[in-house]
Structure 1
Amino acid sequence: MFVEPLACVVRGQRLAGFRPGATVVIIGSGVAGLLHIKLAKSVGTTRVIATDIVDYRKEAAHKAGADVVIDGRQNVPAKVRSGNDGHAADFVVTCTGDREAIAQGLASVDRGGTVLFFAPCEPTAKIELPFNDLWREEVTMTSSYAGSPRDIQESIAILSKKRIAVADLITHVLPLAEAGKGFRLVAHARNSLKVVLRP
């Protein structure tokens, strides 16, 4: 149940060029964001900073290994710098399609850094970019959608070798007859992460 989402994370971090010693900001600490935290820590990033607006998910980000967790309703770029020795991040991953959160991510990346867009917005959404700032600061922007067969193989290897733990991301296991409840838990996303339905 985690092979596919982890494969997407593997691909995203590969395309972004994650490297040991880097500082990473994860905007949004749902299942995808938590997998990004866990995988980033496993490859030796120096500091992982996570954001969310839901207390439950902020706590989950701490448990997943985030060194600093920021409430997304605060001044995220300023908090990133205060939690990172005055510097912005080498890599920023936006795991939410919220336009304000994406703007926070763009303002949290350091000179020469990379922003990975990992979640979609509403189909008709338009996002304003501070083009001259991004150009002057030599910021790379990339996106990632779905994992390739290569990424799926790597995901299977990571899970089989237990390089990262994922069982703690399962918050609810429900019988198929309670599928409606499961969908409501996911839709409200307040006290749940991965919801599993069993026949």
Structure 2
Amino acid sequence: MTPMRAAVYYSNRDVRIEERPVPKIGPGEILIRMKASGICGSDVMEWYRIRKAPLVLGHEMTGEIVEVGAGVTGYRTGQRVFAAHHVPCNTCRHCLTGHHTACETLHTTNYDPGGFAEYIRVPALNVDRGVFALPGGMTCEDGVFIEPLACVLRAQRAAKVRPAQSVLVLGSGLSGILHILLARAAGAGRVLATDIHPDRRKAAVRFGADAAIDPRENVPDRVREINGGHGVDLAVVCAGAPAAFAEAMKCVDRGGKVLWFATTEPGVEVPVPVCDLWRNDVTLLPSYGSSPLDNAAAMELIRAGRIPMRDMVSHRLPLSRAAEGFRLVADGGTTLKVILHPDSGAPS
């Protein structure tokens, strides 16, 4: 087989198209031809990615099965699928207590070489626990949203979002928009958002926020002004700026929760007002990743038309323009979702 092309990450400003051998599959494995692959905000966390460079990133990937290994059942060539890059063992103490994203297996599994390549080998464990056939009517581009939506689902499930609760989302990139949409779907009452970019504040309102606040304002005061004099029941941090974490703890009401969906760089410390949080019965809750259950639920929400994914796609680019896509995501601004397609293929 002729070599394939892959977008190889060296830094946020240095992504190169290089030739790689098409991966060979073994028993229990499948080979996927990439049809659509989304660039995630975590793909441009340069402090994390650059120490492992060069590498092929991409974990929001859908495509068509072109080869199945010996012993594979339930999947066939020509089938359109979503494949999860991380899967849990389902047997360790973390998995057995519902903390699948703390599983060591989940943190060490991946597919080869990554979703920003023309062909991807999916290992047997991932095939067993992380491959989902796309239902009829769901495009490969729709399926790109399974993984990011699943992460948001897991986070809001952990936060126990309830009807009529007030929610503040700090950071209105794609993850923030998904949190707004999912909070609305869960019956949240007043939903507020923040973002430094005016276009993203407009997007937050367009996708369901009651108001979007410029973080250069006094956010805690504005939240209470809009929310009847009270802080919010749930503050969701979707921006990695330390100021967002500090702001969230000032915006939450007594008995409320602060959900850390984003992260800072390693070594960054955020002051925690322990006495205030203790006296006010405030819960701090981090959330990372998703489980197979969350992936399945996200796919069903998309299939049912509950999430307007296509309205969130701001850029569609061929794989050969991956460097441009990375710059768009790293710069933020008007960018929401950037999806890469094979150079020979249109959205499917």
Aligned-residue offset at 1:89: 0.1
Structure 1 Cα separation of the partners of residues 305 and 286 of structure 2: 27
Does 2:183 correspond to 1:40? yes
Report what 1:55 is aligned to. Answer: 198
Q: Secondary structure at the match of 1:90?
A: strand
Q: Secondary structure at the match of 1:126?
A: coil
Report what 1:181 is aligned to. Answer: 324
Report what 2:225 is aligned to. Answer: 82
Report what 1:66 is aligned to. Answer: 209
Q: Secondary structure at the match of 2:188?
A: coil
Report what 1:138 is aligned to. Answer: 281
Gaps of 5+ in 2: 1-143, 343-348
Q: Percent identity?
A: 48
Q: Which amino acid aligns with 1:81?
A: R
Aligned-residue offset at 1:134: 0.3
- Of 146, 149, 164, which aligns to 1:6? 149
Structure 2 Cα separation of the partners of residues 142 and 119 of structure 1: 11
Structure 1 Cα separation of the partners of residues 341 and 291 of structure 2: 27
Q: Secondary structure at the match of 2:180?
A: helix
Structure 1 Cα separation of the partners of residues 209 and 333 of structure 2: 19
Structure 2 Cα separation of the partners of residues 197 and 63 of structure 1: 25
Report what 1:166 is aligned to. Answer: 309
Aligned residue runs from structure 1 range 13-24, under 5 A: 13-24=156-167
Q: How many residues align?
A: 199
Aligned-residue offset at 1:166: 1.5
Does 2:169 correspond to 1:29? no
- Of 290, 294, 299, which aligns to 1:147? 290
Aligned-residue offset at 1:68: 1.1
Aligned-residue offset at 1:112: 0.2
Does 2:240 correspond to 1:92? no
1:10-63 CA-partner distances (Å, limit 9, x unpaired): 000000110001000000000000000000001110110000000111011011
Structure 2 Cα separation of the partners of residues 99 and 168 of structure 1: 30
Structure 2 Cα separation of the partners of residues 187 and 91 of structure 1: 27
State TM-score, norm by structure 1: 0.98
- Of 175, 178, 192, which aligns to 2:335? 192
Aligned-residue offset at 1:179: 1.1
Report what 1:107 is aligned to. Answer: 250
Aligned-residue offset at 1:148: 0.6
Gaps of 5+ in 1: none
Report what 2:30 is aligned to. Answer: none
Q: Secondary structure at the match of 2:169?
A: strand
Structure 2 Cα separation of the partners of residues 144 and 160 of structure 1: 25
Structure 1 Cα separation of the partners of residues 257 and 323 of structure 2: 39
Q: Which amino acid aligns with 1:38?
A: L
Structure 2 Cα separation of the partners of residues 167 and 20 of structure 1: 26
Aligned-residue offset at 1:92: 0.5
Q: Which amino acid aligns with 1:28?
A: G
Q: Which has the higher helix share?
A: 1
Q: Secondary structure at the match of 1:107?
A: helix
Structure 1 Cα separation of the partners of residues 313 and 289 of structure 2: 21
Q: Higher relative contact order at CA 8 Å, sep ≥6: structure 1 or structure 2? A: 1
